[in-house]
Amino acid sequence: MQLVWFKRDLRINDHEALTLAISKGPILPLYILEPELFSQPDLSYRHYQFLKDCLIELDESLQKLGQNLIIKIGSATDILKKINRNHPIQTLWSHQETWNNWTYQRDKKVRQLTRIYNIQWNEPRQNGVIRNLDNRNGWSKQWYAQMKKKNVRTL
């Protein structure tokens, strides 16, 4: 199964992870509502309200493709473990998130989980931020290459 984990990119158009996952086979679109994330100081109730509206629109868009958005509440690692137990995940797809330290630490835990369960995790970059550089030498060439990259096809 191709599991598409929607994080902050809550759209189907120009969504590289979604497009690539669909090209590989049947998908399960997932959003994980993480209560601990919403307790971070850079988030507010206003952000949560906006998120709800975006999730409704995303679900409507996915339904036009014959899918429903699955929304689970809890920690990403717990949710992914449970899904994998019931429906083995072949590949996990999500954009490479570049938000706050909390999401970075969460993604490091998810990376450990994917290694333990032998799940391939594909995280296409969606912006010019380059995660995990050893140093800043040559970063601008990578940034410009990403910014010049053509958009993925629209679904």
CB 93 within 8 A of CB 5: yes
- Domains of the chain, earliest start first: 2-148 (3.40.50.620)
pTM across the whole model: 0.83
CB 28 within 8 A of CB 3: yes
Locate tokens 């399960």: which residue? 28
Percent of all residues in the chain with a pLDDT value above 70, rounded to a whole number: 81
pLDDT tens per residue across span 16-34: 999 999 999 899 999 999 9
> Which pLDDT score, from 0 to 100, does residue 133 have?
61
Q: Is the pLDDT reported for residue 11 higher than 60?
A: yes
pLDDT tens per residue across span 91-120: 999 999 877 889 999 999 999 999 999 999
> Which pLDDT score, from 0 to 100, does residue 100 have?
84
